[in-house]
């Protein structure tokens, strides 16, 4: 399956490292040592790419931590340490940034243990986080899926992508107040959803507790959805060497979601499958095992023999397209 230029680069890099005797790539975090108690992950947050250039420094800090912790959740890890490389202009309110970051770290039991500062024209926060295998837990790997496993979503998808679309079209946020772009023909209820999507996009909620629960099962496979449900499901299946069948009718859809998509002239199914920035867990469990209802998970489909990924719709079954974000894809 061709997942795009970013994944082709990843595949090439993985082969080069494998030829040198190293093979830690393929999951949301690297396990150190190979069977050890630690996992490490790193993520960028760049102004104008991942968030609006004028975003409140406190929101940048909280978002930077959240997206990294989502990777640890996909590994079944408990967060422990963080290392920050921050580059920013001299006018950036770095104290406000660090105050918010330390507060967020305290909430999740993370120690900010080091990093680096540099001056630059744009804000870029590169956060490395270290997680520990939970007591009585196992690592959750993308490669642990088996034929017959049921697929689950840890929460709704598509909302964060709509929030990103609204920000690109002129939405703004000051404090907790979200101002929507002018000219949108929305009911009051849909305006409420639109404002919610902006908040969801700017501050995802990492599913740490769900990840730890998965790590305490005998077997589970997981990935966090950052680039899009379809693309990340392709990635999970590639590592597990299986195919998948998912049902369009089982995708969890928020009320007024389709109305908001129409107002933005977007196809709802395309947004659900390829929007990205959801930061919820997509995971596979043995068929008799169900996640606790308190996590709000939704069944999505199942893993099947072979390498084919299929989308079941009312009008028939079709190949699941590789929809999602690719940083290196050429765009018009």
pLDDT tens digits along 94-139: 999 999 999 999 999 999 999 999 999 999 999 999 999 999 999 9
- DSSP letters of 298-327? EEEEEEESSS-EEEEETTEEEEPP--S--T
- DSSP code of residue 134: P
Which candidate, 162, 148, 141, places its Cα nearest to that of 264? 162
What pTM was estimated for this model as a whole? Answer: 0.91
Category of 8 on φ-ψ map: left (φ > 0), alpha (ψ -120 to 50) or beta: alpha
Query: pLDDT tens across 234-286, in order?
Result: 999 999 999 999 999 999 999 999 999 999 999 999 999 999 999 999 999 99
Residue 17 lies in a domain: no
pLDDT above 50 (res 311)? yes
Q: What pLDDT does residue 122 have?
A: 95
pLDDT tens string 174-193: 988 999 998 888 999 999 99
319 vs 312: CA distance, rounded Å: 9
Asked whether residue 116 falls in the same domain as residue 181, the answer is no
Residue with tokens 């919610």: 196
Asked, for residue 268, whether it belongs to a domain, the answer is yes
In a domain, 329, yes or no: no
Query: What is the pLDDT averaged over residues 292-300?
Result: 97
- In CATH, what number is assigned to the domain containing residue 101? 3.30.1330.10
118 forms bridges with which residues in the sheet?
87
- The mean pLDDT of 7-35, rounded to a whole number, is 80
Measured between alpha carbons, how far is 204 from 279 in angstroms, rounded to an integer?
A: 6
Q: What is the greatest pairwise CA distance in the chain?
A: 59
- Read off the CATH number of the domain in which 202 is found: 3.90.650.10
Neighbours of 305 (CB within 10 A): 9
DSSP type of residue 91: T
Say yes or no to pLDDT of 327 above 50: yes
99-105 — which CB contacts under 8 Å span 24+ positions? 99/58, 100/57, 100/58, 100/59, 100/61, 100/62, 101/61, 101/62, 101/64, 101/65, 104/61, 104/62, 104/65, 104/66, 105/65
Domain containing 64 equals 26-133
d(CA 204, CA 200): 5
Mean pLDDT for 224-231 is 95
Mean predicted lDDT score pLDDT of the chain = 93
Indicate the residue among 76, 105, 133 that finishes a domain: 133
Is residue 249 in some structural domain? yes
State residue 329's pLDDT score. 62
Q: If DSSP codes are grouped into helix, strand and coil, which group holds residue 205?
A: coil
Token pair belonging to 150: 């049921």
Q: How far is Cα 193 from Cα 210, in angstroms, rounded to an integer?
A: 25
pLDDT score recorded for residue 331: 45
pLDDT at 220: 98
Same domain flag for 297 and 159: yes
Note the pLDDT tens digit of each residue in 46-105. 999 899 999 999 999 999 999 999 999 999 999 999 999 999 999 999 999 999 999 999
Give yes or no for residue 1 having a pLDDT over 50.
no
CB within 8 Å of 17: residues ≥ 6 apart: 23, 24, 25
Same domain, 47 and 173: no
pLDDT tier, 332 (very low <50, low <70, confident <90, very high otherwise): very low
Q: Is residue 14 part of a domain?
A: no
- Beta-carbon contacts of residue 305 (< 8 Å; ≥ 6 apart): 147, 242, 243
pLDDT band, residue 4 (cuts 50/70/90): low
Assess contact for 84 and 101: CB atoms under 8 A. Answer: yes
The neighbouring-strand residues paired with 132 are 38, 78
Last residue of a domain, one of 84, 108, 133: 133
Rounded Cα–Cα distance for residues 174 and 288 (Å): 46
- Kindly state the percentage of the chain with pLDDT values over 70: 97
Residues 159 and 303 in one domain: yes
């Amino acid at each position: 399956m061709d997942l795009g230029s970013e994944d082709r680069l990843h595949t090439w890099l993985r082969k080069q490292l494998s030829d040198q005797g190293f093979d830690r790539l393929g999951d949301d975090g690297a396990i150190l040592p190979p069977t050890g108690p630690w996992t490490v992950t790193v993520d960028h947050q760049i102004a104008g790419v991942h968030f609006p250039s004028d975003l409140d420094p406190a929101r940048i800090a909280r978002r930077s931590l959240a997206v990294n912790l989502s990777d640890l959740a996909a590994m079944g890890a408990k967060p422990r340490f963080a290392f920050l490389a921050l580059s920013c202009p001299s006018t950036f309110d770095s104290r406000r940034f660090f105050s918010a970051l330390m507060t967020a770290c305290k909430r999740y039991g993370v120690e900010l243990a080091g990093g680096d500062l540099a001056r630059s024209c744009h804000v870029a926060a590169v956060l490395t986080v270290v997680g520990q295998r939970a007591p009585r837990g196992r690592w959750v790997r993308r490669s642990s899926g088996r034929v017959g496993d049921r697929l689950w979503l840890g929460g709704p998808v598509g909302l964060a992508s709509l929030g990103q679309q609204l920000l690109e079209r002129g939405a703004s946020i000051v404090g907790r107040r979200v101002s929507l772009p002018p000219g949108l023909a929305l009911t009051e209820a849909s305006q409420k959803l639109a404002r919610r999507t902006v908040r969801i996009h700017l501050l995802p909620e990492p599913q740490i507790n769900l990840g730890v629960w998965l790590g305490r099962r005998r077997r589970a496979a997981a990935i966090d959805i950052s680039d899009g449900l379809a693309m990340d499901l392709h990635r999970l299946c590639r590592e597990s060497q299986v195919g998948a069948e998912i049902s369009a009718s089982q995708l969890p859809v928020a009320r007024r979601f389709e109305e908001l998509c129409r107002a933005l002239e977007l196809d709802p199914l395309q947004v659900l499958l390829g929007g990205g920035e959801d930061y919820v867990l997509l995971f596979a469990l043995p068929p008799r095992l169900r996640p606790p209802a308190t996590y709000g998970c939704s069944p999505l489909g199942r893993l099947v023999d072979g390498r084919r990924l299929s989308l079941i719709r009312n009008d028939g079954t079709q190949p699941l397209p590789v929809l999602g974000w690719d940083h290196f894809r050429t765009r018009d």
